[in-house]
Amino acid sequence: MGYARKVGWVTAGLVIGAGACYCIYRLTRGRKQNKEKMAEGGSGDVDDAGDCSGARYNDWSDDDDDSNESKSIVWYPPWARIGTEAGTRARARARARATRARRAVQKRASPNSDDTVLSPQELQKVLCLVEMSEKPYILEAALIALGNNAAYAFNRDIIRDLGGLPIVAKILNTRDPIVKEKALIVLNNLSVNAENQRRLKVYMNQVCDDTITSRLNSSVQLAGLRLLTNMTVTNEYQHMLANSISDFFRLFSAGNEETKLQVLKLLLNLAENPAMTRELLRAQVPSSLGSLFNKKEDKEVILKLLVIFDNINDNFKWEENEPTQNQFGEDM
């Protein structure tokens, strides 16, 4: 029995030693292959996201060791969860891919970057991120990059020609308020363009409903009001908001100073159009509106409100006198 036990221990030692040698061999061989790939211009075990067709944007993670305070769980393939060498390498690749993806998007999205103006090819890649990704931080960073570039007149046409308008407008259906706000900002910047306005008009009713039903004084509500204000700079699409004028007066009455000013800018656009006079007069105005003049309200709010009433009054007088003027012209 003693001899058999010794043989067993020797055999176990040989098996363990062979396993350890094999693990060391695989580890050194993997590192050598990575160095060879990097020497040839590759990136070792770190996967390259590439362009739209081959990227897996849904797998990117929020786990950034450098600056992210609220870290979430990185997505790993099932085999990466096993405490093995292969699992360790797979986890490292997943984390490296997530870090590279985030840094690449944030570098392009940073307003303080020296290279914020993207080429058409780069804009196409950012639009692919918006279209394919479901990660909120990826969407937020990509939309910031689009918003910065949409501030330039020449990029508004490029983004439209790349099919960016419906891609960004689709994000309006998200429940994430931060992502939704960034999408509204992009559309707001793109709307400073006649052709873009013509194509964005199909989303005006949705934006109007979302703006009215959003949390009072929220960033989403303010971003929606800014977009609607831009869309009503001309008279062409103002009639689409006719049924919501009473709701805008309600927002004005209940909102804070910033909301009040933004609503007034929108109503001022409508009040400058004689065709919208009757719609404004039909609107149900909260009774609290009259008490604003008795309160210590901001002077800018009072001034804009008086300008709106003055425009409505002038347009109403012009509308009443118009048939008389035409009759005099025909008699003469």
Q: What confidence tens digit (pLDDT) does each residue in 170-185 have?
A: 999 999 999 999 999 9
Q: Which pLDDT tens digit goes with each residue over 278-300?
A: 999 999 988 877 777 666 777 88
Q: How many CA atoms lie within 13 A of 235 on its CB side?
A: 7
Q: What is the pLDDT of residue 107?
A: 58
**Position 207 confidence tier, pLDDT thresholds 50, 70, 90:** very high
* Residues making up the chain, counted from first to last: 332
Q: What is the pLDDT of residue 301?
A: 87
Q: In the chain, how many H helices and how many E strands?
A: 14, 0
Q: Which residue has the higher pLDDT, 119 or 19?
A: 119
| 136: its two tokens | 């909120």
Flag whether pLDDT at 32 surpasses 50.
no
Q: What is the pLDDT of residue 168?
A: 98
Residues 281 and 286: their CA atoms lie apart, in Å, by 13
Q: Which residue has the higher pLDDT, 186 or 57?
A: 186
Q: What is the pLDDT of residue 161?
A: 97
Of 71-75, 233-237, 302-306, minimum mean pLDDT range: 71-75
Residues 137 and 61: their CA atoms lie apart, in Å, by 9
**Position 78 confidence tier, pLDDT thresholds 50, 70, 90:** very low
| Angle in degrees, CA 56, 36, 122, rounded to 5 | 35
Q: What is the pLDDT of residue 288?
A: 78
Q: Is residue 75 within 8 Å of residue 56, measured between CB atoms? A: no
Residues 67 and 251: their CA atoms lie apart, in Å, by 38
